[in-house]
Amino acid sequence: MAHVELRPLDDDDLDAVFEMMRDQDAVAMEAFTADDPDDRAAFDAWIARERDAEDVALFVVTEKGGFAGTAAAFSVDEDREVSFWIARHAWGRGVATEALRLLISREPIRPLYARVASHNAAAIAVLERNGFAEVSRQRAFAPGLGREVQELLYTLVPVLDGI
């Protein structure tokens, strides 16, 4: 696996993030996406809100120094959640697994949660390799698919010393 790092999001990254989040195959896997992934004005407004929010930690994932995706920690109601989105050119090489591991190591708040569409086997595998376990399922509307799908809620399982 190539060298993976997290770094703060820069203005120069916005075009790459926008293009990554428009990839139709990725949108279908992610499912819970923007209503219109091609709407640049909506993307710019969303990313500006995320960057300005005090409870959002938003990072660029790099592989060998080049753009490979994004990873974030944020709050939903009282819960702390994580997410990751990896660009197609970085799929299948462990980049997502390492990016999530790095994100978890930077995020001090526990419990930590993640949500994933039940059909996204790759993201489920990344979560489980990083110590997350499924805790619930519910039906939710997925804009990326234009229909309801099963959304899984995962939580980071604490490691008990000596066991």
pLDDT of residue 116: 97
d(CA 82, CA 74): 6
pTM, whole model, 2 decimals? 0.92
Q: Assign 44 to helix, strand or coil.
A: helix
Residue that the structure tokens 């949500």 belong to: 115
Identify whether 163 is part of a domain.
Answer: no
User: 99 with 82: CB under 8 angstroms?
Assistant: no
Mean pLDDT by 10 residues, the chain (163 residues): 88 98 92 93 96 97 97 96 97 96 96 96 97 97 92 87 48
pLDDT of residue 157: 85
Identify whether 37 is part of a domain.
Answer: yes
CATH number of domain containing 126: 3.40.630.30
pLDDT of residue 2: 59
Identify whether 111 is part of a domain.
Answer: yes
d(CA 116, CA 155): 11
Task: Please give the structure tokens belonging to residue 81.
Answer: 């959640």
pLDDT of residue 163: 44
d(CA 8, CA 122): 25
Q: How many domains does the chain have?
A: 1
Identify whether 162 is part of a domain.
Answer: no
State how far the alpha carbon of 55 is from the alpha carbons of 43, 61, 112, in Å: 19, 19, 14
Which residue range forms the structural domain that includes residue 83?
4-156
Identify whether 12 is part of a domain.
Answer: yes
